[in-house]
Structure 1
Amino acid sequence: MQRILITLLFLLGVSMSGVAGAETSWWQSDWKYRKPISLDAGAAGLGADVGRAPVLVRLHSGNFAFDGVAADGKDLRFVGADGRTVLNHQIEQFDPGLGIALIWVDVPSIRTGVPQTIWMYYGNENAPAGGNGQLTFDPDYTAIYHFGEQDGAPRDTTAYGNHARNALQPADAAVAGRGLQLEGEPLIVPASPPLAVAEGGAFTFSAWIKPDRLAPNQAIYSRRDGAGAVLVGLDNGTPFVEINGVRAAADALLETGQPTHLAMAAGNGQALLYVDGREAARLEAPLPALNADTLIGADSPVALPAEGEGDAFAADAPLAVAAAPFVGAIDELRLSKVARPAALLLADTVSQGAGSRLTAFGEDEQSAGVSHFGFILKAMPVDAWVVVAVLFLMFLASWAIMIVKSRYFGAVARANAAFTEHYRKAAGESITRLRDLAGSGHLGSGIQDRSTLWNLYRIAIDEVKGRQAHTGKIRLSDSAIGAIRASLDAELIRETERMGRRMNWLSTTIEGAPYVGLFGTVIGIMLVFAVAALAGAVDINSVAPGMAAALLCTAAGLGVAIPALFGYNWLAARSEAIAADMSVFVDEFTARLAEESEDGTLDAVAPASRA
């Protein structure tokens, strides 16, 4: 029994070590290849935790061969550092012919000092199109323009659908793939409820710009609504932010032909201007209420005061442009309804440029074949492992009971069969003759130690001897024989109870293990839906692993209960068979005892040896 338990514990240790090493095991065997992508915020120079952020994965012939992947990238899947969470992604550009791909991946958390590895899987020709592009960016982004369209007006890639009104000339050599070339005509983003800004509210504008010509008061972002106005621009290369005519300028000076990340985050009564992710200017002014069109690359006309009327505006006052148009390229334009933190804007700067220090690519790996069961094990959360651990303890206990009981019943059955053979031979003359074999050692210690029939026989002989010594008679009365039978019946009941000891644990395992597994399944499914709701992901790839892991708890419960059910029925049958043999022996022995006592052939006996 000890050897069996040691073997089971060894197998448990092996399985747990396999699970511990499953952190980097394959996600799904249907995908043939994967590439590790390391995200190191420390190496990128990020000084604070970023949290959730869209990270640009820039693939080119230098880090990816584009072999084995679908022509449109539909089989691309990105899996988180835990090895099982599917991350949303949005493909901006995927061109295996040119050997370039730009993919935005929704990373749940970027933390300083904690490098993490996400995995890009590919190589499944039967994979459906995936990505959930609109979920890649958090819902506080109200408009995002990658400018990757071949023709037509730029399109907003968020779920809000704030598409631009007009089409402009593309810029092929932008920061992240294709951009937009501005030559004096603005890009117009129509007003919409998601883009509306409440008075004193919050807002963020960010974009990559590459000026071709510097001039005074160039407008990059402009929005005017009545007396309220917000302007972000360049003044002879110096970035500035202006709210209702009040301006704050940065100390930085931009150069022509050089890409720069420019952002303005406003909220709590102030506006912060960021240049390449670093705060460059601060303006203490709340945002006005804005619900008009947004102009990118130019300013809208404003009314000028009529001559001789001071600051008053005449109804027919002439219109003028307060700021000059911006000339150059713009890329990755983003509008948000919240004030984005500095850490996120810095992460955008260091991760979106061509020389990104945030991402590092490892060597491609090929699947050697992974079982679906291994995938399910890897997807199991902590609560599921707790349930499985409880079921495993029930499994060990039930199997230990079944093994011990099986060996015991087997030994008793063999000993009873051997005793019965000796009893039949020795009892040809008298039922008391078998005591002589026990005294001489011919009966064997195995029979005397394990046979329940020998134990009944010994008790009966002791009862016969006691009554013969008490009455001085060899013959026994009917009442004495009845008393002897009562002693044998009592021993039969006690032996039956001993055989049934711990059998109730098996019945508890049979009935309880499925409920324990079902409890784990219910908790697991609740967590799957809760996590999916919080993450905003309801696709099959995001919920299927958790559902499979939850159902594994029920399967584990059945896996514990079914063997226990078969074992219980088998052991109960063997126990009943032994009890039936004992009952038959009691009937046969008392009948022979009464017969020999009546005929006078019953011998005077000495008490049977217990050894």
Structure 2
Amino acid sequence: MITRHVIAFLSILMPLHAAEGWWNKEWTQRQKLTLNTGADGAKLSGPLENAAVLVRLHAGNFQFSKAAADGGDLRFVTDDGKLLPHQVESFDALMNEAFVWVKLPSVAAGTTTVNLYYGSANPAAVEPAKTADVYDAVLVWHLSDRGAAPTDATANGNNGSVALAASEGAIIGSGARLLGAEPVTIAASPSLDFSGGFTWSAWVKPSALQAGAEIFRRGEFRILLDQGVPLVTVGNQRSTPVPALAAATWSHVVVTAGDGKVSLYVNGEAVSQLATPLPVLDGALTVGGADAGARFVGEIDELEISKGARSADWVKFAATSQGGTEAGQRTVTLAEAESGEGGGGKHSGGALEHLSLFGDIANNMMFDGWIAIGICAIMIVVGWTVAIQKFKYLNTIQKGTKEFLRQWKQLSSDLTAIDHGDQASIRNLGGADSHQMSVIEKSPLYQIYHIGSEEIRHRLARDKQRTQGLSARSIQAIRAALDGGLVHETHRLTKGLVFLTISIAGGPYVGLLGTVVGVMITFAIIAKSGEVDVNSIAPGIASALLATVVGLLVAIPALFIYSYLNSRIKEATSGMQVFIDEFVAKMAEFYPPAGEVSPYAPQPVSKNH
């Protein structure tokens, strides 16, 4: 961080004049974008044509402060000066994060370089190429519409029928959630003629492993996730089973169809192939499950449909470059920024001058203003301390919950495997080792499970043979105990958040109080001295307003942090509620009341055998 600031400061004093080979003097910044398809990158077998490349921009590889706030001055230019089409999917200068798609007519085997220019005070000097030219697909959904129906990024207008819930922090920016409700349909259009074959590509994240969950359908052609196993069905034909996708994990799924075969790819690798010609596919397309019993529940991002069967290299490049993995970071890289003698070069000096003014303003700050700033500083320290502790706590319980659910998945198939007469068996979930338990015990789900198991143990202790089971009243009482545990764990999750809400609500008011008092004192001094001129008023007013600025600097980060933490806490609370329902259902199933027999109980052996 310090090194970057030093380089930026030196670039202000001694600008690097890169006149030779500089594309346009209106643009002041340039970074070299390199695509590596060799053995240490995407590992492709040859060149790639007409690739839409995802460029991830963040604080570590891009100077957001020198670009337009909406990314409107970004231009991608080849070494010979040709302007390339690009689309900004999202550009957040506040969070220092952006996702940009660039069309490369040809990606050579080995490395290909392109220049990213930005930092123009007059972006209209060179209009960007058409956004619709970025893609050679017939449908591209970035699914970053946030509460609106999916919009096609191509010129074909193949938009979705219904709005989808937003999924923040998807694999590429924001995505969409499919909640098992009404599916998304796309009306048939001339652009969606699949008579010559097609390619379907998307990132999917199943919430749980469902039976027969349908992701995509058109006519007799379906793409399924059956208990997490990706399958393709064409009429009565079905692709061979492959390893299941992990629940709550993003996976890249691609299906290519053409030339009498259908190929299935997962995370860039071919996993299955079905030898069959395509039937006539001319109806509407459905995403998320056409039938009520086959609705996919999970998240989806970056859905793309193309005419013709894409190559294996195209699939591998898409999975590698879009996934954000280490291999993807080696595949698409940005070099350090270069500065040119552009028309926007004066902005850096102006920004530095503005920053220096804050020192002058602080020198004129009165005692009352410093009190307000001191209170705001205490709020910042307390609020950030709580935030850091809460971040660590949520990450810890998330890790514990993941391990607990892995153990619970095995245990829930036979709850009687736990010896409820043995507290050690209850504690270690019937066989988890000490290392696993040290992680699991941090999970709130484990605490709720422990409460429920102890309640079962107390009630079964009356019947040493454990044939009595649990009555409906006992199950109701145990659910009440579990709900009590939920309330307790929720209190632990939300403990301390009040300090963030105090910062959000109180910071601006404390700053405003400092400003109002400072303005009053300034005018009182003017009234006593009788000097009424700008030089006597401006410093006092400016220093008084600094208190409000500090108050806002307390509240704004606290607001974002609180919103993020609150969303994670709600997610954890929802998970506990779902687990309680599942635990009660399993408990009622495996411990039926007297007179009823559990379907999982061992059947008596006939005397005739």
TM score, norm. by length of structure 2: 0.51
**1:95 maps to 2:95:** no
Aligned Cα root-mean-square deviation (Å): 1.8
Match of 2:288 in 1: 297
Q: How has the CA–CA distance of structure 1 residues 253 and 24 changed in structure 2, closer, same or farther, with 3 Å as cutoff?
A: farther
Match of 2:335 in 1: 362
Q: How has the CA–CA distance of structure 1 residues 279 and 23 changed in structure 2, closer, same or farther, with 3 Å as cutoff?
A: farther
1:331 aligns with one of 301, 307, 332: 301
Match of 1:345 in 2: 315
Runs (4+) of structure 1 moved beyond 4 Å?
Answer: none
Cα shift readout 1:420-447 (whole Å, capped 9, x = no counterpart): xxxxxxxxxxxxxxxxxxxxxxxxxxxx
Q: How has the CA–CA distance of structure 1 residues 125 and 295 changed in structure 2, closer, same or farther, with 3 Å as cutoff?
A: same
Q: How has the CA–CA distance of structure 1 residues 85 and 235 changed in structure 2, closer, same or farther, with 3 Å as cutoff?
A: same
Match of 1:160 in 2: 156
Cα shift readout 1:499-550 (whole Å, capped 9, x = no counterpart): xxxxxxxxxxxxxxxxxxxxxxxxxxxxxxxxxxxxxxxxxxxxxxxxxxxx
Cα shift readout 1:449-495 (whole Å, capped 9, x = no counterpart): xxxxxxxxxxxxxxxxxxxxxxxxxxxxxxxxxxxxxxxxxxxxxxx
For residues 179 and 298 of structure 1, what CA distance do their matches in structure 2 show? 18
Q: CA deviation at 1:131?
A: 4.3
Alignment check: 8 A CA contact 2:147 2:165 kept: no
Percentage identity across aligned positions? 38
* Matched ranges for 1:189-204 at <5 A: 189-198=186-195, 201-204=196-199
Match of 1:263 in 2: 254
Q: How has the CA–CA distance of structure 1 residues 102 and 205 changed in structure 2, closer, same or farther, with 3 Å as cutoff?
A: same
Question: Number of residues paired by the alignment?
Answer: 318
Alignment check: 8 A CA contact 2:26 2:121 kept: no
**1:222 maps to 2:247:** no
Alignment check: 8 A CA contact 1:90 1:131 kept: no
Q: CA deviation at 1:47?
A: 2.7
Q: How has the CA–CA distance of structure 1 residues 217 and 48 changed in structure 2, closer, same or farther, with 3 Å as cutoff?
A: farther
- Give the counterpart letter for 1:363 in structure 2: E
For residues 44 and 34 of structure 1, what CA distance do their matches in structure 2 show? 25
* Matched ranges for 1:483-498 at <5 A: none
1:73 aligns with one of 71, 74, 82: 71
Cα shift readout 1:34-60 (whole Å, capped 9, x = no counterpart): 111111111222233222200001101
For residues 224 and 188 of structure 2, what CA distance do their matches in structure 1 show? 21
- Give the counterpart letter for 1:331 in structure 2: D
Q: How has the CA–CA distance of structure 1 residues 190 and 23 changed in structure 2, closer, same or farther, with 3 Å as cutoff?
A: farther
Match of 1:104 in 2: 101
Secondary structure class of the residue paired with 1:109: strand
- Give the counterpart letter for 1:35 in structure 2: Q
Q: CA deviation at 1:339?
A: 1.0
For residues 131 and 101 of structure 1, what CA distance do their matches in structure 2 show? 19
Q: How has the CA–CA distance of structure 1 residues 63 and 214 changed in structure 2, closer, same or farther, with 3 Å as cutoff?
A: same
Structure 1 unaligned runs (5+)? Answer: 1-21, 301-320, 371-611
For residues 268 and 23 of structure 1, what CA distance do their matches in structure 2 show? 52
TM score, norm. by length of structure 1: 0.50
- Give the counterpart letter for 1:273 in structure 2: L
Alignment check: 8 A CA contact 2:83 2:129 kept: no
**1:243 maps to 2:213:** no
Secondary structure class of the residue paired with 1:123: strand
Q: How has the CA–CA distance of structure 1 residues 208 and 342 changed in structure 2, closer, same or farther, with 3 Å as cutoff?
A: same
Q: CA deviation at 1:111?
A: 2.3
Q: CA deviation at 1:291?
A: 1.8
1:86 aligns with one of 83, 87, 97: 83
For residues 290 and 361 of structure 1, what CA distance do their matches in structure 2 show? 42
1:40 aligns with one of 14, 29, 36: 36
Secondary structure class of the residue paired with 2:318: helix
Alignment check: 8 A CA contact 2:146 2:165 kept: no
Secondary structure class of the residue paired with 1:348: helix
For residues 249 and 28 of structure 1, what CA distance do their matches in structure 2 show? 55
Cα shift readout 1:393-412 (whole Å, capped 9, x = no counterpart): xxxxxxxxxxxxxxxxxxxx
Alignment check: 8 A CA contact 1:57 1:359 kept: yes
For residues 56 and 238 of structure 1, what CA distance do their matches in structure 2 show? 28
Alignment check: 8 A CA contact 2:261 2:273 kept: yes
Secondary structure class of the residue paired with 1:249: coil
Q: CA deviation at 1:23?
A: 12
Q: CA deviation at 1:150?
A: 3.2
For residues 28 and 294 of structure 1, what CA distance do their matches in structure 2 show? 45
